[in-house]
Amino acid sequence: MGSTSGIKPEISFADFDRVDIRAGTIVEAAPFPEARKPTIKLKIDFGAPLGVKKSSAQITKYYSPEALIGRQVFAVVNVPPRQIGPFMSEVLTLGFPDEQGEVVLGAVERRVPDGGRLF
């Protein structure tokens, strides 16, 4: 990913429309000790037709696996799978860095249907 301090070059609306960001509910979360940085493995339910997808997230500063179950998150669902050690991450869970660079998950104001697309 790019810099967190600068604004990236403009993209067209067509480019933005290609990024498929969906809401999903975390149904499983577990520590990922094999990762280089502290990480949690997630299984996120995006409803039909996407179903449950796997992701890994460096979110251990503010979140425990137990506290994540049932939480709704945003993820980019049309990125290619990425091998992270022995784990295949299928979606990119979205968050924002705080002042110390620790990830804070993006959240919806009210619950929305799993699989709902950001637009």
Provide the sign of the torsion angle of the four alpha carbons 23, 25, 28, 33, taken in this order.
Answer: positive
Residue 28 has pLDDT above 90, yes or no: yes
pLDDT in tens, 82-93: 999 899 999 999
Question: Is 14 within 8 Å of 7 (Cβ atoms)?
Answer: no
- In three-state form (DSSP H/G/I as H, E/B as E, the rest C), the secondary structure along the chain is CCCCCCCCCCCCHHHHHHCCEEEEEEEEEEECCCCCCCCEEEEEECCCCCCEEEEEECCCCCCCHHHHCCCEEEEECCCCCEEECCEEECCEECEEECCCCCEEECCCCCCCCCCCECC
**Does residue 2 surpass a pLDDT of 70?**
no
- pLDDT, one tens digit per residue, over 29-79 is 999 999 888 999 999 999 999 999 999 999 999 999 999 999 999 999 999
* Residue-level pLDDT at 5: 63
- Give the model's pLDDT for residue 19: 95
pLDDT of the residue at 1: 46
Model-level pTM? 0.90
What domains, with CATH codes, occur in the chain? 15-105 (2.40.50.140)
